[in-house]
Each structure stands twice: as C-alpha cells, then as structure tokens.
Structure 1
Amino acid sequence: MRQFTIERRTLETSIKTTINLDGTGKAAVDTKIGFFDHMLTLLAVHGLIDLNVTCDGDIEVDGHHTVEDIGIAMGDAFFSAVGDKKGIKRYGTFYIPMDEVLAMVSLDISNRPFLVFEAGELAPMIGSFDTQLAEEFFRAFAFHAGITLHIKVLYGKNSHHKIEAIFKALGHALREAVEKDPRVDGIPSSKGVL
C-alpha cells in the first residue's frame, strides 16, 4: 500500500496525519475548525484516499498556523506515499459542479511545485474558517507534495459552494493522477525522472 504517516510539531501546532493513496475514502479528521474538517473529509471521500488528520493548534490566535501546517504535513505524507511514481498516470483534471458553481482542478505530479489559485471573491468567513486560508492550504500542500496545481472557479457566487467544489475536484484529480496505468512502464516522463 502507498501509505505514509507524518508527525509534525512546532511551537504553534502538533499534527499527525496518515495518507493511504490506495484507500476507500475513509476519513478521521479533527483540526478544531469545523468547515476545514468537512473539506478534508470531502477530499478523502472523493479521492478514495484514507486520511487521518489530528491537530492541536493555536486557534485561539487564528486558524492560519493550523491550516497551513496541515497542508505542509499532508503534502509531505503524500510525497512519501506516492513513492517512486513508477506506473502512475501523473496528470489529473476534474470539474465539479455544485449548484451555481463550476470549479476545475488540474494537476501534475511533477516534482515541480506550483500553485495557480483563482476562486474569485470569497466571503471573509465560512463558520470559523477564514476563507483566505484555502489558498494557504493548497499552496502548502502543492509545494510539499511536489505537484503543479491549478485551481479555478469558472463561475458561481456562494463561497461555501466554491471551496467545497474545489476540495471535491482536488480529490478526484489526485485519484486520477496517482492511479496506476498498466501501459506505463517506469516513470511517466520522457526525461525518465520526476
């Protein structure tokens, strides 16, 4: 199984996360930020990734350290779990409609980290989740996972719908990209390395 566990401790957060890329979408998430727990659960369910995340963070300050550090830990765990990348499809693109919103996520497990994030205007808060932190999570995850990640909300107004559609689309795109292709012999790159 392509599975890895990371424990990350700083003066601001204490995190343990396990990612199993060959899972069934089981999630156990406790970040102390309800909306963020919901989003990570959706990512797992739609990506068929088994995901365990626990975090004790300084949310009395705000959610920034918790959300960003979870992105770092999940990215590190993903990078290790995907392993040598032999036989994977490498690329994943998925569109998710959610009511009036249409969101797209396209990614490359390239070991060339990059983030493009275009979600349009967002309400400042969804529950206790600062919506500015969505981009911080995706950046931390992409850079530590070694993926090029493009996120775009094509249209829509409701901030909850926008962010939820993005997390679902990310799950599906990751699922597609890490899937093994029996026709791929070795590393899926003309360079022979990712």
Structure 2
Amino acid sequence: MRKILFVDRDGTLIHEPDDFQIDRFEKIRFVDGMLPALLKLQEAGYSLVMVSNQDGLGTDAFPQITFDGPHQLLMQLLESQGVRFDEVLIDPSLPADNSPNRKPGTGMLRHFLGDDGWSRARSAVIGDRDSDVQLAANLGVRAFRIGPELGWPQIVHALVNAPRTARVERRTKETRIVVDLDLDRAAEPQAHTGLGYFDHMLEQIGKHAGIALTVRCEGDLHVDEHHTVEDCALALGQALRQALEDKRGIGRYGDGDADGGEAGVAAIGAASVRVPMDESHASAALDLSGRPYFVFEGHFPRERVGELPTELVPHFFRSLCETGLMSLHLSVRGENAHHMVEGCFKAVARALRTAVARSGSDLPSTKGAL
C-alpha cells in the first residue's frame, strides 16, 4: 500500500514572509534541511502531495499572476533536484468563506478519503500550523508540525528510521495469545505458553535473531499441544509481517547453520552461522519474499522433547511461513532429538537475523514490492 506525505508549502517547504504571500521571486527561501529530507523520504517509498491554503489568491490583494511565477520556479527547483510531487492542491479561499476545501477541511482530498490503496498508519501530514495538525486528524494519519523543536532531519528520522515494532493479539476459542516484537532492539526474550520446552525454543528465536520478543499464550493444553504451538507460530508470523512494513532496507535473504562438533560462532552475514550442538546439524535458508513456502527435511528419533511433540516442529515453521509470508527451507540431522529441535530454532533465528537487518532504504526486489 502507498505511503503518502501531505506536505504544506509556506512555512514548511519555503519560509513564510511577514505578509504571508510569496508573490515575488526574491521571497523564495528554502526551509533548512527540506531538500535532502524530501529526497530521503522519496527514496524510502513515500509519495508527496502538496496541500496549501493561499488566502485570497486571485483577488486584487493577491493577484494570480504574482503567485504563478514564484510557485512555478519553486516546483522547477524541486524537480531539478529529483523531488516530485504527485499532486499540488491549492485552496484560494479566505477563512470567512468557510470552504470545505480549506485546511483543515478535506474537500481537496476527497479522492484520498475514498481510496483504500494507501496506508493511513504509514502516512502523515507535515506542516507548520494547527490547521495542518487538524488536517492529519481528519485524514486519520500522523502529524508533524515544524517548529523550533522539530525540523526536517527529525521528521526523516521518525519516518525512515523508526523502530520496527508490532503487537499482535490473537484470540480464539482455543488460545489467547499476545506477541510483542521489536526488530531493532535486542532484549532478553520471554515466552510463557505453559509448555516449558516450547518456551525455551521461542526464546531461542528472540535471542539468536537479536530482537526483542515476548510471547504469552493461554491455550487449551487440556486437549493437547497442537493449538498452542500452531497459534503461537501464526501470531509470531503476523507480528513479523507487521513490523517489517514495506521491507525497505532489509537484507531479505538469510541462511543459518547449527552444527554439531564445531566450536565457535562464525560471523553473521552471507556466510553460514554455526552453533555447536554436539552431534546434530540444522540449516535454514530464508527469503522474506511475500510468498509463503516451506520445505523440511529430517526425521526426529523420538516423538517428544519435554511437552513438545516433535511432529509439531515442522508444523510450527510451516505456520510461521503462512502468516509471515516467507519462504523457508529447513533441514536437520542428528541423533539427539533435543539437540536437533533446538538446532532448528537456532538456525532459523540466525537466518532471520540476517534477513531483517536494515541498511539504507532500498527495496530488495526488482518487482518494486515484497
């Protein structure tokens, strides 16, 4: 879904003069940091829409001809540097006219209000007045008001470098689950599902993926373990998908190995990650492709590890792929079922660490979407 920034003009892109009219060329002065900020925001996938009140434009007090020249020069300067606005919406009414098109009214933006192809949660209004803040509220998006304590660099940081977090609450007749996730912060993982060994495995994901992860589940364990394990995977996959948003800047691909008999840990990156698990070996290859697919190779030598049936291990990862919209190839071999299951979770966690790592704002896909 599109991310849109509804951007004010005077006081936001260019400084507003004392008489509130940019009616001469010499009055054009860029707001500090505006140009590199807009370029950065465009690179991060934001579309730009200008929304401006121009009081009395077209009247004797503010002739159209005195506005057009400076405005056209402003647009040419922006376009020459790579900044392009999809739309430029200008309302010429006076406050006394009570026009629905005048900010904070949404009359000029009716076509956006009826369009479900853009994300309200990821869009924002940027301006310098109370009317811009109220416009954001009327549109159901965030507001950034430029002033002494908030400039363009801070806005870019908030929109482009914001922590990727998610909270998912899943409630059915079988389970009640809450997952809290932060992909940009490492913290001691916590899992409370009523299944001790399964808790330990979920904590492996948080620890070795280098993320903050909390999972709480109340499930129908008096029936069996299936619903708890499956629904935790579904909720975790949904949280991953939400936190990743449009996936700009991520590594996308990750691979991880959990090896028996080899001491030490290799560097994280394109090379495989190895964790000693005695005789066992698990490997994972992950693609945050937006397409769910799961391949598993392996056989566990016993039916349970603690309270966790080993048949639910591949089922957990298959369910994770379904809601996380990822492709995962996972294989394991060994003799000790405890080591083998733990190796699977560690290998997937290490692959996930590489795949979600963020650097820059490019989208790692030739399709233009993931």
Q: TM-score, normalised by structure 2?
A: 0.51
Of 293, 300, 325, which aligns to 1:121? 300
| Residues 25, 50 of structure 1: 8 Å contact kept | yes
Q: Which residue of 1 aligns with 2:211?
A: 49
- Whole-angstrom CA distance in 1 between matches of 2:318 and 2:177: 18
- Whole-angstrom CA distance in 1 between matches of 2:210 and 2:280: 23
- Whole-angstrom CA distance in 2 between matches of 1:26 and 1:117: 29
How many residue pairs were aligned?
191
Q: Which residue of 2 aligns with 1:82?
A: 244
Of 337, 362, 368, which aligns to 1:159? 337
- Residues 3 and 122 of structure 1: is their aligned pair in 2 closer, same or farther, counting only changes over 3 Å? farther
Q: How does 1:154-193 map to 2 (within 5 A)?
A: 155-182=333-360, 185-193=361-369
SS at match of 2:343: helix
- Whole-angstrom CA distance in 1 between matches of 2:362 and 2:354: 17
Q: Which residue of 1 aligns with 2:119?
A: none
What is the CA distance between 1:127 and its match in structure 2?
1.1
Structure 1 spans left out of the alignment, 5+ residues = none
* Larger relative contact order (CA 8 Å, sep ≥ 6): 1
State the AA in 2 paired with 1:158: N
Of 289, 293, 314, which aligns to 1:135? 314
State the AA in 1 paired with 2:179: T
- Once the two structures are superposed, residues 125-158 of structure 1 have per-residue CA deviations (whole angstroms, 9 ceiling, x without a partner) of 11111111111110111110010011011x3111
Structure 1 window deviating more from structure 2 (112-121 vs 97-106): it is 112-121
Q: TM-score, normalised by structure 1?
A: 0.95
What is the CA distance between 1:43 and its match in structure 2?
1.1
- Whole-angstrom CA distance in 2 between matches of 1:119 and 1:148: 18
State the AA in 2 paired with 1:119: G
- Once the two structures are superposed, residues 167-187 of structure 1 have per-residue CA deviations (whole angstroms, 9 ceiling, x without a partner) of 1111110010011133xx521
What is the CA distance between 1:52 and its match in structure 2?
0.7
- Whole-angstrom CA distance in 2 between matches of 1:140 and 1:119: 18
- Whole-angstrom CA distance in 2 between matches of 1:25 and 1:134: 24
SS at match of 1:177: helix
| Residues 122, 131 of structure 1: 8 Å contact kept | no
- Once the two structures are superposed, residues 46-81 of structure 1 have per-residue CA deviations (whole angstroms, 9 ceiling, x without a partner) of 001111111110001110000000000000000000
Q: Quick one: percent identity of the two aligned structures?
A: 43
SS at match of 1:24: coil
SS at match of 2:190: strand
Q: Name the larger-Rg structure.
A: 2
Q: Does 1:7 align with 2:169?
A: yes
- Whole-angstrom CA distance in 2 between matches of 1:20 and 1:119: 31
State the AA in 2 paired with 1:101: S
The ranges of structure 1 where at least 4 consecutive aligned residues each deviate by more than 4 angstroms after the TM superposition are: none
What is the CA distance between 1:82 and its match in structure 2?
0.8
